[in-house]
Amino acid sequence: MNPTIRVLFDHSDFIIVDKPSQIAVQNEDRQQGILPVICQQLDIEKLWLVHRLDKITSGILILAKTAEAAASFGHIFEQRKIEKYYLALSTKKPKKKQGSIKGGMKKVRDGKWILNGTHTQQALTQFFSFSVAPNLRLYLVKPLTGKTHQIRVALKSLGAPILGDELYGGQASDRTYLHAFAIKFTYKDMPIALMCPPSEGEYFTGLDTQAVISNQQQPWSLNWPKYTINSLP
């Protein structure tokens, strides 16, 4: 039985939903992707993906209702006029508690990626981290580029792989603790700022973690390192 997908925002041109973890954005051999599930749930004939989340990642996903809206979002993403914020948990202490991670992304065996010193496939990720409990730390992450596995590789490079992300050395758990938490952009002169706290996973829903997350309202208001569009990879 397909899960009921929570709709966070419904616009005439697009919807924003809370994607559960362990459901892919596209069809797989043994599992329907999220598009046909939502189309059936909302009785919509067709929806367009305008960005992607890994199967293991939960949280905010934008889906366009028309090809024209999908093209508009293509321009918004291309011009980097959309801010995305993620939450992650790790059982490891990072090399630094906040800052930026920059490097070239290189694909290696077993479907993994690594950061290296090259200038190809450059990725830039900013983060703050907060202590939740002994051996548990929350990361608020702002990716400024959109590379495959970017956040997972960035936290691995800090020595703090994501809890449950065994591909990158994270401790085994009931899920991979990565969640698309907040988004901010303007669509046809309409400013949209939306947050979606995680609702699944033993450690995301624990009282200690929820208390720390509740202090991260309006993540775009934090003192993130400054950058210019031209300085981005």
Among residues 21, 15, 37, the alpha carbon closest in space to that of 179 is found at 21
Q: Report the distance separating Cα 161 and Cα 153, nearest Å.
A: 8
Q: Report the distance separating Cα 7 and Cα 77, nearest Å.
A: 21
- Would the CA dihedral through 75, 84, 162, 233 be positive or negative? positive
- Of 54, 110, 165, 208, which is the active-site residue? 54
Q: What share of the chain is helix, strand, coil (3-state, %, to 5)?
A: 20, 35, 45
178: Cα within 13 Å, side-chain hemisphere: 27
Among residues 51, 84, 119, 77, the alpha carbon closest in space to that of 224 is found at 84
Residue 78: its H or E element? helix 67-78
Told to judge if 43 belongs to the known catalytic residues of this protein, a careful annotator would answer: no
CA 230 to chain centre: 23
Active site residues: 54
